[in-house]
Structure 1
Amino acid sequence: MNFVATAALALAMSTDAFAVAVGKGAALQRPHLREALRTGAIFGVIEGITPVIGWALGHWAAPYVEAWDHWIAFTLLLVLGLRMIREGLSAADDEDEKPSSHGFWLLAVTGFATSIDALAVGVGLAFIDANIVTVAGAIGFSTFVMVTLGVMVGRGLGKLVGKRAELVGGLVLIVIGAAILYEHLGHAAR
């Protein structure tokens, strides 16, 4: 893969994480750059590791990963999205009641859910002449940057939308999961 293809792939793999990060930032009480960097690092590391795992799986288990990856992503994003919507409906609009940071495990599960597509890409990369270390590094770095920016953009949006930020973030997760499912089932029908 050349530089342009690698950069385009890295950007494509980080867009869903960016959308989720905007919701995460909006749901927090004035997130600082340190929290944005922490969130970006968690998502970036996970998004960088999953194509390597997919690449390794691609050498021996491609049919199994491709058969279930979209269902795994959809289920995780649906559950996380519903959880965010529930919290948004029960949350007060008081800025003081918003958390100042998200827990590590919540971020890690969300990061994994948005990186299932990178896992599938890694499977595909096992069958072409691609340097998996370079591609995974580019995906991880792009995700780190996009998520960090997304949390900071969400910070500004959080002031505008108040408690609805959690609702919007949950809906975004569900839409991303449904889009992944629709895309994979649409390819299977062709």
Structure 2
Amino acid sequence: MNFVATASLALAMSTDAFAAAVGKGAALQRPHLREALRTGAIFGVIEGLTPLLGWVLGNAAAPYVEAWDHWIAFVLLGALGLRMIHEGWGEPELEEEKPNSHSFLRLAVTGVATSIDALIVGAGLAFIDANIFVVAAAIGCATFIMVTLGVMLGRGLGALVGKRAEIVGGVVLIVIGSLILYEHLHAAGTI
């Protein structure tokens, strides 16, 4: 794979994580750059490791995972989105009660949900002439940058809409999950 193909793939793999990060940033009380970098690092590491895992699994597991990846992403992102919407409809909190950061587990689950497609990409790369380590590093770095920017962009969105930003973030996660499901079902010709 050449530089342009690798960079394009890395950008494509990071877009859904970027959208999720905007929602994460909006749900926080004015996240600082440190929190954005932390979130970017968590997403970037997960997104960088999943193509390596997919590459290792190779052809043996790819058909099984590929058959269900869109459903797994849809369920994980949908459940997280519904939870955020539920929390957003709750009693409005005082500004100081809004969290300053998300838990590692919440960020990791979202990171895994948005990186399932990278697992499949890694499995596919096992059969072509591509340096998986370069590709995985590019995906991880692109995701780190995109997620960090997304959290900071969400900071502005959160200031505009306040507590109800969690509803927006939840809807974004559900839309991402639904789009992943639609794209896979449409590509398979089932819809």
**Is the contact between residue 48 and residue 140 of structure 1 (CA under 8 Å) also seen in structure 2?**
yes
Alignment RMSD, CA only? 1.1
Cross-structure match for 2:185:
185
**1:41 has 2:41 as partner:** yes
List per-residue Cα deviations over 1:19-77 (Å, max 9, x = no partner). 11111111101111111100000000000000111111223222111111111111100
Cross-structure match for 2:163:
163
Report the Cα distance in structure 1 between the residues aligned to 2:63 and 2:21, rounded to whole angstroms: 31
SS at match of 1:163: helix
Report the Cα distance in structure 2 between the residues aligned to 1:172 and 1:93, rounded to whole angstroms: 21
Report the Cα distance in structure 2 between the residues aligned to 1:26 and 1:169, rounded to whole angstroms: 7
Cross-structure match for 1:11:
11
Q: Which runs of 4+ in 1 moved over 3 A?
A: none
Report the Cα distance in structure 2 between the residues aligned to 1:61 and 1:19, rounded to whole angstroms: 28
Q: Structure 1's 12 and 102: CA in aligned 2 closer, same or farther, altered over 3 A? A: same
Cross-structure match for 2:27:
27
Please give the TM-score of this superposition, normalised by the length of structure 2: 0.96
Q: Structure 1's 91 and 109: CA in aligned 2 closer, same or farther, altered over 3 A? A: farther
Cross-structure match for 2:116:
116
List per-residue Cα deviations over 1:62-111 (Å, max 9, x = no partner). 21111111111111001101011111111515321210100000000000
Alignment of 1:1-190 (within 5 A): 1-92=1-92, 94-189=94-189
Report the Cα distance in structure 2 between the residues aligned to 1:91 and 1:65, rounded to whole angstroms: 40
Report the Cα distance in structure 2 between the residues aligned to 1:86 and 1:116, rounded to whole angstroms: 25
Give me the identity figure in percent: 78
Please give the TM-score of this superposition, normalised by the length of structure 1: 0.97
Q: What amino acid is aligned across from residue 53 of structure 2 in structure 1?
A: I
